[in-house]
Amino acid sequence: MAGPEIERLVQLLAKLPGLGPRSARRAALTLIKRREQLLDPLAGALAEAAAKVKTCHICGNYDSVDPCTICTDERRDTGIICVVDEVSGLWAMERSGLFRGLYHVLGGVLSPLDGIGPDDLAVGPLVTRAGAPGVREVILALSATVDGQTTAHYLADRLAPLGVTVSGLAQGVPVGGELDYLDEGTIGAALRARREIPR
């Protein structure tokens, strides 16, 4: 019904996370209708991202410079490395605004079923970085999934000989979370990690 250019645009948009075939059609129509405000700027932004965005060779973050602005920021604590599975985890940590150390993006988690072993992830470079002088702690901020926690245990074993502190994010009730809507696993974890409330 539409020209081949529109069909191809819809097919590519449908591959983005969060867009299905129907919303990809709506997105394509919105782009074509708002050509000057949206389509042309987006085409330019994609071309610029393709040309300028690099992967930081130290931590794996995406930035327009390599090493990235986090790795070269002198105000950050180079003694703590926070390990995340993907760049999205790094962004989530940065949004919290609480972590002032450096990062290490693994590029995924161990998954025997999908054939993803330690050699497919940035495990070797992490061990090298964690063994450098001045590194005191490695925080494993991996997803609280089976694969994520398996990966955390594996990394803790690999990092143990280095003598650095290896920690993980606390598990418990999310802020604003109602007990009624939480799964049993989360409630159990929060109960096991209960803390005395200071008087």
Contact 170, 141 (CB under 8 A): no
Smallest gap, in angstroms, from Cβ of residue 194 to a second copy? 31
# residues near a second copy by CB under 8 A: 54
Binding mask 46-75 for a second copy (x = CB under 8 A): xxxxx-xx-------xxxxx---xx-----
Q: For strands 62-63 and 80-84, give the pairing.
A: unpaired
26 near a second copy, judged by CB under 8 A? yes
Look up residue 173 and give its DSSP letter.
P
Contact 186, 157 (CB under 8 A): no
Smallest gap, in angstroms, from Cβ of residue 19 to a second copy? 6
Q: Rounded to whole angstroms, how far apart are CA atoms 127 and 136?
A: 13
Q: Rounded to whole angstroms, how far apart are CA atoms 123 and 120?
A: 8
23 near a second copy, judged by CB under 8 A? yes
If the CB atoms of residues 3 and 134 are measured against a second copy, the closer one turns out to be 3
Q: Rounded to whole angstroms, how far apart are CA atoms 164 and 152?
A: 15
14 near a second copy, judged by CB under 8 A? no
The interface with a second copy within residues 107-146 (CB under 8 A) comprises none
Q: Is 163 helix (H, G, I), strand (E, B) or coil?
A: coil
CA distances from 110 to 17, 63, 75, 84 (A): 22, 25, 33, 13
191 near a second copy, judged by CB under 8 A? no
Part in contact with a second copy (CB under 8 A); list of ranges 75-83, 89-97, 149-157, 174-182: 89-97
Smallest gap, in angstroms, from Cβ of residue 106 to a second copy? 13
106 near a second copy, judged by CB under 8 A? no
The one-letter code for the residue type at 162 is L
Q: Using CB under 8 A, list all residues that contact a second copy.
A: 1-6, 8-9, 12-13, 15-19, 23, 25-33, 35, 38-43, 45-50, 52-53, 61-65, 69-70, 86-88, 90-91, 94-95
